[in-house]
Structure 1
Amino acid sequence: MVPGPAGAIPDEAVFAAGGLVRTAQQVHNRLWQELVPDGYTSPQFAVLHRLRMRPGIDQRTLCEALSLDKATVAELVTRMDQAGLVARERAADDARRNALRLTDEGRAAFLDLAPWVAQVQLHLSAALSPEEAGRFLHLMRTVAGVAPGAWISTAPAVVLIGLPADPSHIPGHLIRVAQQQHTRYWTDAVGTRLTSPQYGVLYRLAREPGIDQTTLAARVALAKAPTGEIVKRLVSRGEVRRTTDPHDGRRKLLTLTDEGLQVLYKVMPAVLDVQRRLTQDLRADELDELLGLLGRMSQA
């Protein structure tokens, strides 16, 4: 057993930022799947949106606008090119650079989808007053490192129904970028062996040993299926133990093994550093405010 009492495990409030951003992103994904038609993904629509606002930009500029890595954007553009939504052409001022534009089909798809995407954003922030929504955008821009007004439209007379032209005013965009920041910090500090959701399971079982998988899924804000996969992997690695409930043979209870507790204690300083880096530009009162707003949005 790792030395130190269970009380040495920090209160969950110190880990709240990363967990709430992840939960808000899951809520955004769920709303997107429920409301946006035709199977378009959020990154695909983001490409349509940015190219409608700024036709003729190159792939590097698009990467910056989407806050996605080059490989991901390259794959997105290739697939949308093959689908007839995006066209590539040599830039007039640099033959080595490809300018990106929407095709007629791409522009039509954007106009069809924009009202539904606006509904996603409205549902996402429905629990907040207009003033609170404005504060949320301000605080999330700070966390995500997104400057307001940096994305000025060059397309004349672009009319969007309820959807801001500037992505820094779109809650879902800011949540996604913040989640990507969290993932990058996590990879740098913690590595790839233990994911953030896996850590969440270990931490929760250290705080509440002996809960069942359904309760665990609710505590870590994950659906039952992914929670089951995480538990299965952690059991196979010898970090979690499943036992039969003595009062209900159909119910399995989950506890950490000594090895699981060792893993938890070993990575905890790095996880704390991830949270610090994610919120380093917020004052303490701003962080408390953001956590409260994120918590309410995560109930959407």
Structure 2
Amino acid sequence: MVPAAATAEESTDTAQYVTVGQRRLAYATYGDPTGRPVLFCHGTPGSRLLGRLLDAPATERGIRVIAPDRPGIGDSDGAAVGIDDWPDDAAALLSHLDADRAGVLGFSGGAPYALACHRLAAVESVTLVSGAGPPGVGETGRAQRAMGALARHVPWLCSPLVRLQRWALARRDPDAALDLVAQRPPETEALSTDEVARLVKADVLAATARGPSAVVRELGLLAEPWPVDLRDVSVPVTVFQGRRDRNVAPETGAALARRLPEATLERVDSDHLGSLCVAAGRALRGPTPV
């Protein structure tokens, strides 16, 4: 359960922290502070800040979104944490918040991190929105494949490219960041297109605030065989896939759903980020727990 002392003031982009070993993991919370917990696994590049996109639908539906920065991202201390290590961080955060039952929502490159959490006793369901697939399952966009290959095989070359992208985005209009993840202005329940664009820009810049190494590491991990066997995922999974997604090919959602033991595919008439905006309410609810 969530502590009764939680207050609405906790729904903020300002980082809160939990200690994991010798390092700090930063997180923010959104939505209903006393609602059902849902752990949000951000994309790559991305950060806890994108959780703000879920604030209004989560509040309306009695959901508390818990959005951490993965190690080396945003305000979290750096560490060589792999996909299979992430559940330990997630467990520490959920325990810190007294969340003994929770859903998990993985967006885009957060998909493997969300699926890896299936082994935690607290996790009752997983939802993927515009979720990347492991190599050989579906397909990502050309730019994503190229960066993944560089990150996996020549990370020393990928790092300057990530730095250059950050430098350029920091100096450009927020629409430039939005163009990376959406082909049309996204529709949300509470935020204007300009607000979403500013949010996406802040999210991408936060991802590399500590330098490019964590993002490069994650890009490489996404491009190599995942340590998560899709056939072993032991909780219900709902897969939301945009029909007009250019970052993760539309067939990826179907391919993921076919390989997961207990999965439901829901197609969304939108692009990459738009699918998260359109499907936020349904995605936060997740499957009905057994």
TM-score strictly above 0.5: no
Q: Which has the higher strand share?
A: 2
Q: Which has the higher helix share?
A: 1
TM-score (norm. length: structure 2): 0.28
TM-score (norm. length: structure 1): 0.27
More RCO (CA 8 Å, sep 6+): 1
